[in-house]
Amino acid sequence: MSDDTFGSECGIVLDYLSGACTEEEREAFERHLTHCKSCREELAALQTVWEALPLDIERIEPPQDLKEQIMSAAKAAPRRPSTSPKTNWRKPIIAVAAAALIFFSGSLWHNPLIDNRETSPPSIENALFAPASRIVQINMLKAESSEKERAYGVACIVDTGQGNQFVVYVFGAKPTKDEQAYQVWLLRDGNRTSAGTFRVDEKGIGLLTMAIESGELNYDRIGITLEPDDKGDQPRGPKAFGTEAVT
């Protein structure tokens, strides 16, 4: 199989990494790796994400329907022949796949880096086991030029069956120091609203979750700034991540 072909073997890279595939699938994928450069590169990048996840978190199995939707999003991310610049085509795949790894590993629910808002949202651990759980929307977060070269992220809206949750994940970001915090801003018709703050550890990983009380979250763009503290109601620091216009 050529490098730019996305066959059935290419589709199990996440299952292979997380140990969810069968022994037969694992052996077939390892044989496939010997002649598929794209999968070797993607696996190496995903291993970096996997190894960066905290080790002291309780691991929880998400519902199958939620896993399938994230996997579908990861597999649907655009792929390009290996002759294209790696940084142009791998990041969208890895960013969505990173979201999958968050759900698979359980770090979404128990990561100590998440800052609680004034009113804590319902337990995501319990809510995601509702049959109606599904990913409503996934948006890629692009790092600004001042950020690390390999920094990127993803924002998701998750329908838990008990309400919607807004989830933001960044990888490879500059670690926060002292009182610093990353602040998430939702832009709509020229108006900016804070969705909360989070901190990033020395591995470059940061997570934020927010309950969507109204049931809907409308925005045109998402921006993330690095702030001197978590107390601001307007941006004071430089922009670190952002999306293109959300359709």
**Spatial separation of the C-alpha atoms in residues 210 and 186, rounded to whole Å:** 12
What pLDDT, on the 0 to 100 scale, is given for residue 181?
Answer: 94
Whether 82 is in a domain gets the answer: yes
In a domain, 2, yes or no: no
Rounded distance, CA 70 to CA 68, Å? 6
Per-residue confidence (pLDDT) for residue 84, from 0 to 100 = 41
Residue 156 is predicted with a pLDDT of 80
230 located within any domain: yes
- Domain-located, residue 25: yes
**Which amino acid is residue 96, in one-letter code?**
V
Grouping H, G, I as helix, E, B as strand and the rest as coil, residue 44 is: helix
Residue 144, domain member (yes or no): yes
For residues 182 and 225, is the Cβ–Cβ distance under 8 A? Answer: yes
Give the domain extent around 34.
10-242
Q: Provide the pLDDT for residue 178.
A: 92
| Residue 166 included in any domain | yes
Is 18 a member of any domain?
yes
Which pair of structure tokens corresponds to residue 114?
């998440």
**Confidence at residue 223, expressed as pLDDT on a 0 to 100 scale:** 93
Let me know if residue 168 belongs to a domain: yes
**Mean pLDDT of successive 10-residue segments in the chain (247 residues)?**
50 73 89 86 67 45 48 48 40 50 44 38 37 64 73 78 80 89 92 90 83 78 93 91 73
Q: What is the CA radius of gyration of the chain?
A: 18
The number of distinct structural domains making up the chain is 1
Residue 84: C-alpha distances to residues 4, 79, 88, 95, 145 (Å): 10, 10, 7, 18, 20
- The pLDDT, as a whole number, for residue 78 is 45
